[in-house]
Structure 1
Amino acid sequence: MVFSKSKEIERNFQIALCTAPDQATAESLAEKMVQQNLAACVNIIPAITSVYQWQGQIEKEPEVLLVIKTAEELMLELEELLNEEHPYEVFELISCNIEQAATAYLQWLNDSV
């Protein structure tokens, strides 16, 4: 397996994180992302606990984490989808670059989004 930034693929890819209140919401959001070719794959990690400050109070809530593999140029469209579909007033959407990956995986990402 070759592990590198493929020179043949000019696009930049992202791993984006988004939390959801429950499994059903996470699955619905993930399916829409993949159906609309905004994500190649979304992993859903259940049973996380988020501790955060909201409106001057410390909150602690169970959530589900979506790990979204997408292309950098699709992040704005992904945000638009979440603006329409996400139940939170302020949802998490953060991302970081995929600096290196298996060549075959990068090709699959490129072909999927």
Structure 2
Amino acid sequence: MTNRDFLVVTTTHDDETRARELAAAVVRERLAACAQVYPITSVYWWDGEVRTGSEWRTDFKTRAELADRLAAFIAEHHSYDTPEIIGVPVTTGSTAYLSWVSAETAD
């Protein structure tokens, strides 16, 4: 197991309850060991104009080999037409934490 075997996968919602529900569903399915939900402000281009909105960002800690399954689960359960689903590789992390992520995610 190396650091490169892990990802942080991010999505956003316009509703805190939906963000928390998705976080719980993903963890319950063992597609991520944990999820962090926190408020952000997004500025983005949509339907021909710049928009600004409050959103709830969710970061999922998972193994890289679960990325496709996690992305499909997020897309299936998301309310946005085009949800953000971005995976960022972990370049460093404590061995104990990464071992925990590995142990708490699906085989």
| TM-score, scaled relative to structure 2 | 0.91
- Please report how far the alpha carbon of residue 78 of structure 1 lies from its aligned counterpart in structure 2 after TM superposition: 1.1
Task: For 1:64 and 1:78, locate their aligned partners in 2 and report how far apart those are by CA, in whole Å.
Answer: 18
Which of 25, 35, 39 aligns to 2:18? It is 25
Aligned length: 104
Structure 1: state its 5+ residue gaps.
1-8
Q: Are 2:35 and 1:35 aligned?
A: no
- The equivalent residue for 1:110 is 102
Task: For 1:104 and 1:88, locate their aligned partners in 2 and report how far apart those are by CA, in whole Å.
Answer: 35
Task: For 1:88 and 1:54, locate their aligned partners in 2 and report how far apart those are by CA, in whole Å.
Answer: 12
One-letter identity of the residue aligned with 1:49: T
Alignment of 1:1-113 (within 5 A): 9=1, 12-46=5-39, 48-113=40-105
Task: For 1:100 and 1:81, locate their aligned partners in 2 and report how far apart those are by CA, in whole Å.
Answer: 26
- Please report how far the alpha carbon of residue 35 of structure 1 lies from its aligned counterpart in structure 2 after TM superposition: 0.5
Q: Which runs of at least 4 in structure 1 moved beyond 6 Å after TM superposition?
A: none
One-letter identity of the residue aligned with 1:20: H
| TM-score, scaled relative to structure 1 | 0.87
Structure 2: state its 5+ residue gaps.
none
- The equivalent residue for 1:3 is none
Of all paired residues, the percent bearing the same amino acid is: 35
SS for the counterpart of 1:17 is strand
